[in-house]
Structure 1
Amino acid sequence: MQGSIVRWNDDRGFGFISSKEVEGDVFAHISQFKKGFRRPKVGDRVLFQLANEKGKLSAKTISLIGVQPIPIDKPSLISSLIGFLLLIALGTIIYLFLIKPKLFPAYKDMGFSCQGKTHCSEMISCDEAKFYLANCPNVEIDGNNDGEPCEMQHCNSRW
């Protein structure tokens, strides 16, 4: 059927259609309009199917007549692929430099074990000192409590 929107409440998403083929106005809800078009307004011509629900007429599968669909910019395949690859690269960099070092510190795979050492003079490397600080009790190797052990002997970043 064809008709025209005679009343429309955009805030509430419904209105009424008048058609020469039906006596009285027909209820129309926004959910019944074809997707991809602007919102309806008073005066728009429409095509619709008529439904009778609980004794009340309503419009179903409503299409605006003479209204062009809203153009949707579809990204090109190349730009989508580039974006996807950049996202993977960024994720890899974040994992390798921020997450993995915290999950798997370098000293974890060096075979260290707690052997009762408590002072920096007993350590042989910065990695061993970091292992002891993270895993062994009663160590006295981080005098300024900054999380960096043996700064004067082994873990001096200036060397």
Structure 2
Amino acid sequence: MEATTTRFNGTLKQWNDERGIGFLVAEHGGQELFVHVSAFPRGGRPPLAGEALSFEVELDRDGRKRAVRVRRPGDAEPGQARRGSPARPHDRRASSRRSASGSWVPRLVALLLLAAGLGWYAYGRYSERVGAASAAQLPQNAMNPEPWTKPRPAQPALYQCDGRQHCSQMTSCEEATFFVGHCPGTKMDGDGDGVPCEQQLCGGAFSGS
């Protein structure tokens, strides 16, 4: 391929962003030249139809002209970029220092979290040991305190169902009332009003005579 060092000014007439191709028109002559996205500087903004550009011309494999080494107004020339290259190692060292300084931050956070977890675990074990030692020193009655009031033992029943059914077998109105309320088969409350032996023992309601 033949290459020229002459630069031309022109305008990006058409551009297909999906395919990365377009056509440039030089200011003098008006000829359309094919241009590929690889001809633009890397890392720059995408080409836009209608923007002013400068470029060089080369022949492709088929002998057709195409635009190469495209630059926008104000872009530094490749030679200027190379002359400024000695500063790049310093930039790389500064960048590496920034990367190194940033890489220890996650490690420090992880170490702090690990230390906090271990401290919490140790504190829990210490609390368990202190609690066990304190419980061992307490008197037995302190570990098993008695209730405020002990339940009273059940009093034995004054009367028991022993098969008696009639008023003549009762000794008091209270006993007759117990038998009617608790014992089956009694025959001491003929009117079913809950008051047994009204004539013999319970002259009044629940009388004790």
Rg (Cα) greater in structure:
2
Shorter-chain TM-score bucket reads 0.3 to 0.5
Provide the TM-score with structure 1 as the length reference: 0.46
Greater RCO, CA 8 A, separation 6+: 1
Provide the TM-score with structure 2 as the length reference: 0.36
Query: Which structure carries more helix by proportion?
Result: 2
